[in-house]
Amino acid sequence: MSISLLRKVPLVKLSSRRFPIYKQKLFCTMSEEINSQEVVNSTKRILTTQTAESTTPRVKKIKLKKYKSKKVDPTAPLGVLQLEIDELLKAHNLTRENVTNDLKSILNDKTFEIKDKYHREVSNVKILKLTSNGDGLAVIDNPVETEKKQVVIVPFGLPDDIVNIKVFKTHPHYVESDLLDVLKKSPMRRDDLIKDKYFGKSSGDQFEFLTYADQLEIKRNTVANAYKFFAPRLVANKVIPEVGTTIPSPLEYNYRTKITPHFDMPKRLKQLEIKPPLGFGQKGRPKWRKETLEVGGAGPILDIDECKLATDILNIGLTNERKRFDQEFKKYKKGATILLRENTIILDENKPVEEQLGEGSTDSDGKVSYITIDDKEHGVKLAKTCVTNTRQIVTEYVDGYTFEFSAGEFFQNNNSILPIITKYVRENLQIPNSKIDEPNYLVDAYCGSGLFSLCSSKGVSKVTGVEISADSVSFAERNSKNNGVENCKFIVGKAEKLFECIDTPNDRTSVILDPPRKGCDEVFMKQLAEYYPARIVYISCNVHSQARDLEYFLNDTEKGKDYKIESLRGFDFFPQTHHVESVAVLSRV
């Protein structure tokens, strides 16, 4: 399933009231980012022509296209890819010059002769390694400059596979390809494990053909590699502990509590006449799984009627909303994204279930769909509904706490692993050798609607959370109140301003960091070092920016040098995908 965990753009509500919808392309995939690399026209050559009226030669400009690459954040997938390519080149005694592609000739190739040479099928390609994005990497011959090589990305290729590929896109130092056939299988390749009929085409769950143990080990390597790339001084000084085993998710499938299928409006169309595919992005045009060639269609968006990673109620919601889309697609003026978010209700057994459900995705009879679950651990009966309105309040239960938040706002996506990570964070925040009656404090930077603040609040004198989204802060306050937690205070603001309003003694304060993918900035890390807390737990959905931040904190801030990384490990929030959540625990030496 294409589970886009990538860059969000602002939500825009569109015409139909039925679907809470966002602007098309809520998420931008890696290949779209590549596409967005600008090709600029430049006037280079000047030719002379004559017109009938005048004998004066007129100057006609012929524009030559030039490749201009967009600046990339080094810790974003495309930035990391450059480092992975350099590492591969080094291992094969190659340099960037050896694999540089002549993009100018491709861009100005009017006859398609050169393009056809570059964008060709290649047989017997050996996959050499896996990128942190979950794709295979290989080296092939350059078809035009025969003394050169090319680095090729092969989605669904595994180390030691021998494969046939079709190269379809050229970049300055690598090319993109589709997997056509697997001639010899990597020992890791376990096609018998595949459950998803869209596997091998869709862009989200590219690890389904690996054992779960292999997936966890690959993610452990991703964490280690991130520190090798972005914290080289820490690695050289041998201060990075051995990366712990990745903590597995209790659910390997049906764990996602939010999915966002979408559809495109073809360019130049004002209204849709034919129903477009509604689902998730296709990863290139792979042909290796012959049984899936027809499944989901051949367009850039696959028509998806089931998501193996999503919870059962979201799949029911998907069926409902697809049926509604069949009826209503002509009303749309733009492409759109449909939100499907799980909502949990603790049922009062004395009332009819239907009266307790609230708003949610409805079936063709107009009834809110739901499933019930007996929560034996807590002795309650739960109803799950699927919310489609971004503004609707949804509820999740974690570790005995109730969390409410707007369906369109951030909340962790895999409920099954949340009790495990919140316990791990809570335990690692403890200041060692504390006496029972000594006060201790907690600062939760980037606190969202209060997940880590509340789950760590027991036995703490005071918790201060800071969060940029005022909406999330009001939910954090509401969640504190609803759970009877009285020692949490939340502040709307940038984490960078946090230290201006912290009045707790640093020696008795632990800090949680859980920033977005881009990580923390140097200003924040510097202030954190100056504040000098007793312990720090840094949780990150982008281990590369985490490694960069800790390299800076431990090496380049005055007091940061007093800290050590006590432990480092991944948590598998997203089984079957390449994503890993990384948790680093720091203490003062």
Which residues are marked as active site?
A: 541, 581
Q: Which stretch binds ligand SAM (CB under 6 A): 297-305, 340-348, 391-399, 443-451?
A: 443-451
Q: Which stretch binds ligand SAM (CB under 6 A): 286-294, 372-380, 509-517, 528-536?
A: 509-517
CB 581 → ligand SAM: shortest distance, Å?
9
| Angle, in degrees to the nearest 10, between helices 212-230 and 543-556 | 40
CB 553 → ligand SAM: shortest distance, Å?
17
Q: Distance from CA of residue 408 to its chain's centroid?
A: 16
Binding of ligand SAM at residue 419 (CB under 6 A)? no
Q: Which stretch binds ligand SAM (CB under 6 A): 194-202, 338-346, 408-416, 433-441?
A: 408-416
- Please give the helix or strand (H or E) that residue 106 lies within, else none: helix 103-107
β-partners of residue 340 are 259
CB closest to ligand SAM, residue no:
448
Binding of ligand SAM at residue 514 (CB under 6 A)? yes
Give yes or no for a contact between 359 and 365, defined as CB atoms under 8 angstroms apart: no
Question: Half-sphere exposure (CA, 13 Å, Cβ side) for 139?
Answer: 19
CB 515 → ligand SAM: shortest distance, Å?
6
Binding of ligand SAM at residue 494 (CB under 6 A)? yes
Contacts of 268 (CB under 8 A, 6+ apart): none
Binding of ligand SAM at residue 451 (CB under 6 A)? yes
Give yes or no for a contact between 4 and 204, defined as CB atoms under 8 angstroms apart: yes
Q: Considering only residues 446, 475, 552, 563, which one is a binding residue for ligand SAM as defined by CB under 6 A?
A: 446
User: Residue 332 or residue 446: which is nearer to ligand SAM going by CB?
Assistant: 446
Report how far residue 366's alpha carbon sits from residue 361's, in angstroms, rounded to the nearest whole number.
9
Q: Distance from CA of residue 448 to its chain's centroid?
A: 17
Q: Considering only residues 34, 466, 511, 537, which one is a binding residue for ligand SAM as defined by CB under 6 A?
A: 466
Q: Supply 205's token pair.
A: 């769950």
Report how far residue 407's alpha carbon sits from residue 405's, in angstroms, rounded to the nearest whole number.
6
Give yes or no for a contact between 410 and 541, defined as CB atoms under 8 angstroms apart: no
Q: Considering only residues 469, 483, 487, 567, which one is a binding residue for ligand SAM as defined by CB under 6 A?
A: 469
Report how far residue 9's alpha carbon sits from residue 236's, in angstroms, rounded to the nearest whole number.
38
User: Residue 34 or residue 466: which is nearer to ligand SAM going by CB?
Assistant: 466
Collapsing DSSP to helix, strand or coil, 249 comes out as coil
CB 528 → ligand SAM: shortest distance, Å?
13
Look at residues 386, 478, 550, 531 and name the one whose alpha carbon lies nearest to residue 20.
386
Q: Considering only residues 205, 342, 467, 581, which one is a binding residue for ligand SAM as defined by CB under 6 A?
A: 467
User: Residue 190 or residue 462: which is nearer to ligand SAM going by CB?
Assistant: 462
Binding of ligand SAM at residue 402 (CB under 6 A)? no
Q: Which stretch binds ligand SAM (CB under 6 A): 209-217, 330-338, 352-360, 468-476?
A: 468-476
DSSP output for 417-484? GHHHHHHHHHHHHPPTT--TTS--EEEEET-TTTHHHHHT-TT-SEEEEEES-HHHHHHHHHHHHHTT
Contact string (CB under 6 A) for ligand SAM, positions 472-491, x = contact: x-------------------
Give yes or no for a contact between 462 and 489, defined as CB atoms under 8 angstroms apart: yes
User: Residue 161 or residue 496: which is nearer to ligand SAM going by CB?
Assistant: 496
Q: Considering only residues 489, 516, 559, 567, which one is a binding residue for ligand SAM as defined by CB under 6 A?
A: 516
Q: Which stretch binds ligand SAM (CB under 6 A): 150-158, 184-192, 367-375, 461-469?
A: 461-469
β-partners of residue 371 are 384
Give yes or no for a contact between 153 and 175, defined as CB atoms under 8 angstroms apart: yes
User: Residue 296 or residue 515: which is nearer to ligand SAM going by CB?
Assistant: 515
Collapsing DSSP to helix, strand or coil, 163 comes out as strand
**Torsion angle of C-alpha atoms 195, 129, 71, 231, degrees rounded to 10:** 110
Contact string (CB under 6 A) for ligand SAM, positions 533-572, x = contact: --------x-------------------------------
For ligand SAM (CB under 6 A), the number of binding residues is 19
CB 27 → ligand SAM: shortest distance, Å?
15
**Residue 96 CB coordination number (10 Å):** 13
Q: Name the DSSP class of 279.
A: E
Binding of ligand SAM at residue 411 (CB under 6 A)? yes
Give yes or no for a contact between 582 and 569, defined as CB atoms under 8 angstroms apart: yes
* Longest Cα separation, the chain: 99
User: Residue 155 or residue 515: which is nearer to ligand SAM going by CB?
Assistant: 515
Binding of ligand SAM at residue 583 (CB under 6 A)? no
Q: Supply 513's token pair.
A: 């960091």
Binding of ligand SAM at residue 447 (CB under 6 A)? yes
Binding of ligand SAM at residue 448 (CB under 6 A)? yes
Length of the chain: 589
User: Residue 301 or residue 476: which is nearer to ligand SAM going by CB?
Assistant: 476
Q: Supply 315's token pair.
A: 């799949």
Q: Considering only residues 468, 508, 531, 566, which one is a binding residue for ligand SAM as defined by CB under 6 A?
A: 468
Binding of ligand SAM at residue 581 (CB under 6 A)? no
Binding of ligand SAM at residue 442 (CB under 6 A)? no
Q: Which stretch binds ligand SAM (CB under 6 A): 374-382, 433-441, 442-450, 454-462?
A: 442-450
CB 467 → ligand SAM: shortest distance, Å?
5
Collapsing DSSP to helix, strand or coil, 397 comes out as strand
Give yes or no for a contact between 382 and 370, defined as CB atoms under 8 angstroms apart: no
Strands 509-513 and 535-540: parallel
Binding of ligand SAM at residue 452 (CB under 6 A)? yes
- Please give the helix or strand (H or E) that residue 117 lies within, else none: helix 113-118
Q: Supply 211's token pair.
A: 């054992």
Ranges within 56-95 binding ligand SAM (CB under 6 A): none
Phi then psi for residue 507, to 5 deg, are: -65, -20
CB 460 → ligand SAM: shortest distance, Å?
16
CB 305 → ligand SAM: shortest distance, Å?
30
CB 249 → ligand SAM: shortest distance, Å?
16
User: Residue 335 or residue 515: which is nearer to ligand SAM going by CB?
Assistant: 515
User: Residue 8 or residue 228: which is nearer to ligand SAM going by CB?
Assistant: 8
Return residues touching ligand SAM (CB under 6 A).
410-412, 446-448, 451-452, 466-469, 472, 494-495, 514-516, 541
